Amino acid sequence: MELTLFVLRGCPHCRRALKFMEELCREEPRYQQVKVRQIDEGEQPALADQYDYYYVPCYFLGREKLHEGSCTKDQIRAVLDRALAAQNG
């Protein structure tokens, strides 16, 4: 199952979340296995409207919301762990 990440260009919270994801992938290569579909809600508003969220960054696994809004590195780790577990069955 794919992790869907909604972001908005210029959002400081989104930049931080992406930075955390990059750091975690370098620290723990197993996270590189997670398939992430990154969607800029500013460029694809119709697609963004199909999901139930108010703040970016927002992570979904299927239609299940895993995290919404400002985040810590540990919260992103938890999102990646859930996505990896779902992906590996």
Per-residue confidence (pLDDT) for residue 40, from 0 to 100: 96
* Domain residue limits, the chain: 3-87
Tens of pLDDT along the chain (89 residues) come to 789 999 999 999 999 999 999 999 999 999 999 999 999 999 999 999 999 999 999 999 999 999 999 999 999 999 999 999 998 87
- pTM (2 decimals)? 0.91
Determine whether 67 is exposed, middle or buried from the number of CB atoms within 10 Å of its CB (0-12, 13-18, 19+). Answer: buried
Largest CA distance in the chain: 35
Q: Whose CA is closest to 44, among 1, 7, 17, 3?
A: 7
CATH number of this structure's domain 3-87: 3.40.30.10
